[in-house]
Amino acid sequence: HSNREMWFRDFFPANMCPINAKADTFYGIMFDAGSTGTRIHIYTFVQKSPENLPELEGEIFESVKPGLSAYADQPEKGAETVKRLLDMAIDAVPPHLWKTTPVVLKATAGLRLLSEEKAQALLLEVREVFEESPFLVPEDSVSIMDGSYEGILAWITVNFLTGQLSGQNQHTVGTLDLGGASTQITFLPRFEETFKETPGDFLTSFEMFNSTYKLYTHSYLGFGLKAARLATLGALNMEAVDGQMFRSSCLPKQLEAEWHFGGVKYRYGGNKEGETGFEPCYLEVLKVVKGKLHQPDEIRGSSFYAFSYYYDRAVDTNLIDYEQGGVLEVKDFERKAKEVCDNMERYNSASPFLCMDLTYITALLKEGFGFRDNTLLQLTKKVNNIETSWTLGATFHLLQSLGLTY
Ligand SMILES: O=c1ccn([C@@H]2O[C@H](COP(=O)(O)OP(=O)(O)O)[C@@H](O)[C@H]2O)c(=O)[nH]1
Ligand SMILES: [Ca+2]
């Protein structure tokens, strides 16, 4: 394969151009086509010596909203948003490295929920944008990612960035990702019992950096924050019902509004006459999660890294600082949910969904996954200035498949 040969020629240059100081820097471009937005991550690596692994030097990150799935009926317009982000890479990567810099896009739950036909049309248009760019386009460079990879690759990213994948004493941490349309839980089981009690499709072996990790991971489609809003409203998979009003005790009493998600328009509002507040809202949300998720015993006492909407909602309610992140207990989300839901008038400048979102997060953690009230959550957006996203793990995986790292 000629592309592959090019990789080797340019990335193992030690014996060809030994004193070329710049030749040891290379790049990888990974797109995250999420349900609520599309993001580009341009990673820089430096190969300090031929016998060592390349080191991650930095990241350029940019994002646009909405996500590709909002362009389900205009795939060319969707691909245009990818092209604009890719133009950033033209500026960021030196021209002589363009043809050896791989570009890959992986789509998550937003595209998983579209019809096969619409999803493939979007991917095809994106593939054309890639082919027209000067970058290296590997096989399968544009695809819908399997949900189990989404969890594993985020776990790899977080544990790599926190230094847990190198050296002898590896104390890996579990990860919780709450997207718009799906949610992932991933950890490395410590107890033999966990392997015995877990359904086979929740366990995956994964090779990275010369180690094999047997991970517990699962992606719950339809359990992302925005999908959960629709489920709570009773509107999930209801696109046929035109103009119907969906009401919830989790919304401000007088609210009536419209909301677009995944190319569908929904009308929603508060319980004008009936109840509102945390108690009735919790019961509503409970119906969405109770008994729907696998609860591994082992996680009850352990702490997890949490990001995406866990992070965003904790920031919105001043539970953590946007720049710093922080450590929370599960019960902190519950306390905030009560505060917001029982005083909705006071929070009406924020999103009308704030009460529902916080209540859902509380129910998902406690009744869904089975975490304790005092389970610790490390909320993190960046580690050493690198985004805690599955995209870094995916880029390592890509470099590995291209023979650049092991
Ligand atoms: O690089 C990223 C990508 C996503 N998110 C967060 O992930 C959530 C949205 O999830 P997404 O659109 O990826 O939905 P999914 O397709 O994963 O369900 C929001 O909280 C975003 O702020 C983030 O913080 N950084
Ligand atoms: Ca995501």
pLDDT of residue 21: 44
CA separation for the pair 250, 284 (Å, rounded): 8
pLDDT of residue 18: 39
CA separation for the pair 215, 205 (Å, rounded): 6
Query: Is the C-beta atom of 127 inside 6 A of ligand 1?
Result: no
Strand pairing partners for 81? none
DSSP helix/strand/coil, 247: strand
Annotated binding site: 180-184
pLDDT of residue 136: 97
Q: Whose CA is nearest to atom 15 of ligand 1?
A: 179
Domains and CATH numbers, the chain: 2-145 (3.30.420.40), 146-384 (3.30.420.150)
Instruction: Give the count of beta carbons closer than 10 Å to the beta carbon of residue 364.
Output: 26
pLDDT of residue 13: 41
pLDDT of residue 31: 98
pLDDT tens over the chain, length 406 residues:
334 333 434 444 443 443 444 558 999 999 999 999 999 999 999 988 877 778 999 999 999 999 999 999 999 999 999 999 999 999 999 999 999 999 999 999 999 999 999 999 999 999 999 999 999 999 999 999 999 999 999 999 999 999 999 877 779 999 999 999 999 999 999 999 999 999 999 999 999 888 899 999 999 999 999 999 999 999 887 665 667 899 999 999 999 999 887 677 889 999 999 999 999 999 999 999 999 999 999 998 899 999 999 999 999 999 999 999 999 999 999 999 999 999 998 887 789 999 999 999 999 999 999 999 999 999 999 999 999 999 999 999 999 898 876 5
pLDDT of residue 167: 76
pLDDT of residue 49: 81
**Centroid of ligand 2 to alpha carbon of 50 (angstroms):** 34
Backbone angles phi, psi at 353, to 5 degrees: -90, 5
Annotated binding site for ATP: 180-184
Strand pairing partners for 308? 178
CA separation for the pair 81, 145 (Å, rounded): 19
Nearest Cα neighbor of 185 from 205, 155, 230 is 155
Query: Is the C-beta atom of 180 inside 6 A of ligand 1?
Result: yes
pLDDT of residue 22: 54
Catalytic pick among 59, 125, 150, 334: 150
Global pTM? 0.93
CA separation for the pair 69, 119 (Å, rounded): 8
pLDDT of residue 70: 93
Strand pairing partners for 376? 329
Active site residue 345: no
Ligand nearest to the backbone CA of 31: 1
pLDDT of residue 240: 54
